[in-house]
Structure 1
Amino acid sequence: MKSGKYIPFLLGATAALHCAAAPATPAPQRPSLAVNIVLSGIPYDFFSRYEANLTEDGFRKFMREGTVFTESRYEYMPTNSVSSLATLTTGAYPSVHGVVGRQWCDVLTGQTVSLIDDPAATGFDCEFGEGCYSGALLTTPTLGDRLRRDYPESKVISIAADPASAIVMAGLGTEAYWLNPRTACWTSSSDYMLYLPGWVTNFNEQYKNNSYFSNWFWVLCKDEMRYRNRRISYIQPEHEGRFRRMEAIKALPGMTAEGRFPRVSATPLASDMVADFVRQAVLQERLGDDDTPDLLNICFDAPRRVIAHYGPESVEAEDMFYQLDRTIALLIRFIEQETNGRVVFVLTTDHGCSDSYDAYALQADRFNGIQFRTIINSFLCAQYGGEAWVTGYFGRRLYINRNEAFSRGLSLDDVQRRASDFALQFRGIARVVPSCDLRSGAASDRYLQRLRNGYYQKRSGDLLVDLEPGLIEERTGVRADTGSAFEYDIHVPLMVMGYGIPAGVSDEEVDMTSVAVTLARLLGISQPDASSALPIRALTEAGTKR
């Protein structure tokens, strides 16, 4: 706790004698710490499906003591982790905050742009050229940025294993920490600080000397009879006959670097590593122990990797959820003990996921995005001449070479519509919308409005592709995926617990842009600059009664 907080007994007694008639100073009505906890990729139904096996102090504590929202959704497409984290922290859609994915094509040059790569930044304790990340391409202030503007002494910290997750949550001017995959140590970059704080360096030294990386092995945390799922790939159960062995797919999704962390990035150990560091951040930075409001953003990326790699129907996904429940229970208990008690916790996810493509053998095929890009390019070449009409395809967004169109005096709108009409012939595609249709006119239905909410003109490309329900793109190491505007992707859990929050279940329809606005209201600050969302009534109306 901060020094100087406690008044010596005699001084306090003397002051009490002189000021006996003075009215008592009212206790602050706002939380001193808000904690955003994002469980990346956890489907909405996991909490009810596995509730019987949860601990009392983890997710059940949220269900018992907090407000549980049953109708919370991300009202845009495509859904992905970085877009949703930006929405949670800015209170705006991708059409406003501009985070459409981890990569996109520059509309002028056709070159691929990475959301966080920045050669001008220097990663701490990294090999030369590694860890050069920053938020330079982020355009929209977050809740944390707003808090620091209103209260410069406030502390705002964002923590995640994935650098993109931490950086997006941190916004334009607050602190971010992530894991160096090569060393499995916590790091940041020169975009956020001049050097790593001493407590981070000391923490990393302890991890370097810890041998549990080599000793750790994934075993089931509960009796085998209690598991609902039967598909198993990696874990070696005691009674093999209870489970259906699935062929393990090679490579973990999104992890290409060598080093200590990639081996455990899709295991419960990765979540424990995040929680360990969060505890140190709370302790060393003294978050929430005075009347100045602080903000802590946490993203657990491991669940997304486990579910994508093994599938939501797997024993690995189920066991990961149970171990995460235990991890969250210990973390919440620690934060409550180390702070002054005026803490608000938000528990949610950044998106859901599809079923595994091979789960029920209804459709064991997947959509080949590389092939799609190649064929669209060939079609446009045949129609208009030239050789390089398509500059990129990322996350259901296809980019057309605009220089080819302009140099031939062609209307870009006409090229987009012709490519869109041709693309509908592909098996597995449900809808293709040219961006020219999103730039003009009102949305004709809620589905089209979701596409428009996810469209950022400078970055979203020329064709937005949506696949048939349940169909996913073919990617290395991926069994289940996200990205659609269907319920399994956009409908997410949302639970809020803590200081001044009532217990109960609410069926209020919640647009996830409202989370940042609601926290701003609870913290007594202005809402984030780019947000036009309304606060959640079930929480703000309860707050006025404190």
Structure 2
Amino acid sequence: MYRTLITIVVVAFLPSIALAQEDAQDIRLVVQVTVDGLRADLLQRYQDSFSHGGFHRFMERGVWYTNAHHMHANTETIVGHATLATGAHPSEHGMIGNAWLDRVTGHLGYGIEDSEHPLLPVPGFGGKGQQIDPSQAIAQAGGRSPRNLLATTFGDELFKTNNGRSKILGISGKDRSAVAMAGHFGDAFWFSTSTGAFETSEYYFNSYPDWVTEWNSQRPADVAIGTLWELSTPKESYLLAENDDRPYEVDLKGFGRVFPHRYGTPEDGLYYTQVLLTPLGDELTARFAETAVHAEGLGQDAFTDYLSVSFSAVDAVNHLFGPSSLENEEIMRRLDQTLEQFFAFLDQEIGAEHILYVLSADHGMPEMPEFMAEMGLSTARNYNGALKDALNANLAAEFGIQDAILQFFRPYIYLDRQAIAAAGLDKRAIERSIVDDLESRDGIAIAMPRNPFPEQIGDFLEGPIRRNFHPQRSGDIYVAQAPYSFLFEAGAVAVMHGSPWRYDTHVPIMFSGPGIEPQVVSRQVSTVDVAITLSNLLGTTIPSSAAGQILDEVVR
């Protein structure tokens, strides 16, 4: 088990953190909820169908920031989670994408893979499900850890401030979400789409805690084998009732495009992926988190603990069916119910007066390109592999160089710098050719090199692209698709976020807890504001690279 603890000289010790805000003096647990792929406007679209104690806990009894945005360009899962956790931009926390090219090895690498800390085998579980997540599919190593995260998180600073007495825990349906939010000092668990168990790695544990082993031994993810995912209320009660069978939606190995959706079996290879993208996946995540809270004694002493729970089903549904599908409306209704039950459990277990809740999202989501085209917008689909081949062919014809592009994993093109130099070619001329080629294609908005061309300086996208840039990890050219156009790998993913456009950057930020006055705030705020606000409220050191501003409505 990997841990590095720094010896701290303590001048004066208090039994709990000294807080400036009287109402925050007895916060025993910070609960940070992240809804993967929750575009902010969906809360307003569906709010009339929500229960009183789920999302409405924030909308009616908390501070609700309706104009919150990520400020970076590559709106992917690990990028957004790391930003929420650290309060830093990707240029500083280093997670510039779910994956990037390792210039030393020449291979694409998954952002949290770590060969030195392999996955901890779950007793009694085996199997290898089919992987439809392109980022995880490229992982070379079986291990997972936060070692590539270059900044401290709020959880890290809370742990340090309380001299290791705070418990820090990250739980999610996805490994990269749990790892980013748990930070360097916390523990992380995530749902395995290979086995249906919640797993971890040797970075965190040498063996599973008894409560995790007991949870997994019940095999709760198997409850849906051979059953149906059905609508929870009559179809006519849904705003999007007619959006249930569109030709551009994905039928995931017999799961279907129309309600009811039929679960397969583990032998099919995609059963546990089907679990993850349905209400059952979010329900399992919440129930596992409840078990963790009770077993680990979170919120039961004077030292504030931290629990991050990231729900993954909204994002998974969006990728296959789109955010304006009947499946999206149903998954949002069901997540609201899951949150209501989860919050009720926490309130009873710890006491609502002792809990600070915060809710946000790692990114938004575009509509299906075909859906927007039906309404009259010009859209296109482009695929990394096909573009790379076409660009390399054009460069060979123009400059006489083969495979000048080493890799194109959206959004970055990585050039073979050594080959270009060895051929005596001007790298800037190569970049100019690629940029002109890409920007002439339907569905591409901009292709911006590390050193932008004069006409690109001051562009609306220059700032977000720069905030996404890390010199050792980012590629040579950043490529952004046109609004509502598709740019990703060919495969099961039918719609993909990851753009700098507002539908991908726009996410909710909500706080609820003792002393927080209900209000709706429409001024623009940023996701980098969350961590520094938590640090100010709880009296911790500010995370190392935090770039945001304190949200006054929360701390005053």
TM-score range, shorter chain: 0.7 to 0.9
The answer for the alignment partner of 2:37 in structure 1 is 41
Instruction: Pick closer, same or farther for the CA change 1:466–1:130 going to 2, 3 Å.
Output: closer
2-structure distance, mates of 1:396, 1:29: 44
1-structure distance, mates of 2:156, 2:95: 17
The answer for the alignment partner of 1:58 in structure 2 is 54
The answer for the alignment partner of 1:22 in structure 2 is none
Q: Deviations over 1:21-49 (max 9, x none)?
A: xxxxx987252211110111122111111
Displacement of 1:409 in angstroms is 4.0
Q: 2:90 matched to 1:94?
A: yes
1:196-211 pair list within 5 angstroms: 196-207=208-219
1-structure distance, mates of 2:344, 2:324: 30
Instruction: Pick closer, same or farther for the CA change 1:257–1:511 going to 2, 3 Å.
Output: farther
1-structure distance, mates of 2:267, 2:451: 36
- Given candidates 259, 275, 280, the residue that maps to 1:269 is 280
- Given candidates 454, 458, 465, the residue that maps to 2:468 is 454
Displacement of 1:394 in angstroms is 1.5
- Given candidates 474, 479, 494, the residue that maps to 1:465 is 479
The answer for the alignment partner of 2:554 in structure 1 is 539
Q: 2:359 matched to 1:358?
A: no
2-structure distance, mates of 1:513, 1:65: 23
Instruction: Pick closer, same or farther for the CA change 1:124–1:528 going to 2, 3 Å.
Output: same
Displacement of 1:473 in angstroms is 2.2
Q: For the Cα contact (< 8 Å) 1:28–1:291, is it kept in 2?
A: no
The answer for the alignment partner of 2:64 in structure 1 is 68
Q: For the Cα contact (< 8 Å) 2:401–2:423, is it kept in 1?
A: no
5+ residue gaps, structure 2, are 1-21, 128-139, 256-265
When the two chains are superposed, the root-mean-square deviation of aligned CA atoms in Å is 2.6
- Partner of 1:452: helix, strand, or coil? helix
Q: Which moved more, 1:125-134 or 1:262-271?
A: 125-134
2-structure distance, mates of 1:441, 1:95: 23
Displacement of 1:207 in angstroms is 2.2
Q: Deviations over 1:175-209 (max 9, x none)?
A: 0101122221111010111111111111111226x
Residue identity opposite 1:121 in structure 2: H
1:80-91 pair list within 5 angstroms: 80-91=76-87
1-structure distance, mates of 2:455, 2:503: 28
1-structure distance, mates of 2:238, 2:427: 54
- Given candidates 132, 138, 149, the residue that maps to 2:160 is 149
Residue identity opposite 1:249 in structure 2: V
Instruction: Pick closer, same or farther for the CA change 1:486–1:256 going to 2, 3 Å.
Output: farther
The answer for the alignment partner of 1:488 in structure 2 is 503
Q: For the Cα contact (< 8 Å) 2:64–2:510, is it kept in 1?
A: yes
Displacement of 1:279 in angstroms is 0.4
1-structure distance, mates of 2:491, 2:394: 27
2-structure distance, mates of 1:257, 1:83: 31
Instruction: Pick closer, same or farther for the CA change 1:441–1:479 going to 2, 3 Å.
Output: closer
- Partner of 1:173: helix, strand, or coil? coil
2-structure distance, mates of 1:81, 1:533: 20
Q: 2:134 matched to 1:123?
A: no
1-structure distance, mates of 2:48, 2:247: 26
Q: Deviations over 1:65-102 (max 9, x none)?
A: 00011221101101111100000001111111111112
The answer for the alignment partner of 1:190 in structure 2 is 202
Residue identity opposite 2:551 in structure 1: I
Q: For the Cα contact (< 8 Å) 1:183–1:259, is it kept in 2?
A: no
Residue identity opposite 1:309 in structure 2: L
Q: Deviations over 1:480-529 (max 9, x none)?
A: 22111111111111111012211111123211101011011111101101
2-structure distance, mates of 1:109, 1:206: 41
Q: Which moved more, 1:502-511 or 1:73-82?
A: 502-511
- Partner of 2:84: helix, strand, or coil? helix
2-structure distance, mates of 1:91, 1:117: 22
Q: For the Cα contact (< 8 Å) 1:108–1:402, is it kept in 2?
A: no
Residue identity opposite 2:232 in structure 1: C
5+ residue gaps, structure 1, are 1-25, 234-243
Q: Which moved more, 1:446-455 or 1:277-286?
A: 446-455
The answer for the alignment partner of 2:392 in structure 1 is 377
**What TM-score results when the alignment is normalised by the length of structure 2?**
0.85
Q: 2:313 matched to 1:302?
A: yes
- Given candidates 160, 166, 186, the residue that maps to 2:172 is 160
- Partner of 2:306: helix, strand, or coil? strand
Q: Deviations over 1:99-127 (max 9, x none)?
A: 11121112344321221222222212255
- Given candidates 354, 366, 376, the residue that maps to 1:342 is 354
Higher radius of gyration, 1 or 2: 1
Q: What's the % identity of the aligned pairs?
A: 28
1:197-236 pair list within 5 angstroms: 197-207=209-219, 212-214=223-225, 216-233=227-244
- Partner of 1:138: helix, strand, or coil? coil
Residue identity opposite 2:485 in structure 1: L
Displacement of 1:246 in angstroms is 4.6
- Partner of 1:295: helix, strand, or coil? strand
- Given candidates 190, 202, 205, the residue that maps to 1:178 is 190
The answer for the alignment partner of 2:130 in structure 1 is none
2-structure distance, mates of 1:364, 1:435: 27
The answer for the alignment partner of 1:23 in structure 2 is none
Q: Which moved more, 1:115-124 or 1:451-460?
A: 115-124
Displacement of 1:256 in angstroms is 13
| 4+ runs deviating over 4 angstroms | 126-131, 244-248, 440-443
- Given candidates 390, 393, 399, the residue that maps to 2:405 is 390
Instruction: Pick closer, same or farther for the CA change 1:458–1:57 going to 2, 3 Å.
Output: same
Q: For the Cα contact (< 8 Å) 1:389–1:401, is it kept in 2?
A: yes
- Partner of 1:194: helix, strand, or coil? coil
Q: For the Cα contact (< 8 Å) 1:58–1:329, is it kept in 2?
A: yes
The answer for the alignment partner of 2:537 in structure 1 is 522
- Partner of 2:152: helix, strand, or coil? coil
Q: For the Cα contact (< 8 Å) 1:110–1:401, is it kept in 2?
A: no
Q: Deviations over 1:421-444 (max 9, x none)?
A: 232222211111111229x99962
1:15-26 pair list within 5 angstroms: none
1-structure distance, mates of 2:397, 2:409: 23
2-structure distance, mates of 1:533, 1:28: 21
Displacement of 1:211 in angstroms is 5.1
- Given candidates 313, 326, 336, the residue that maps to 1:325 is 336
Displacement of 1:463 in angstroms is 1.1
The answer for the alignment partner of 1:20 in structure 2 is none
Q: For the Cα contact (< 8 Å) 1:443–1:449, is it kept in 2?
A: no
Q: 2:518 matched to 1:507?
A: no
2-structure distance, mates of 1:302, 1:28: 32
Q: For the Cα contact (< 8 Å) 1:159–1:176, is it kept in 2?
A: yes
1-structure distance, mates of 2:62, 2:344: 15
Q: Deviations over 1:293-342 (max 9, x none)?
A: 11111111111010111111111110010000000000011111111431
Q: 2:260 matched to 1:249?
A: no
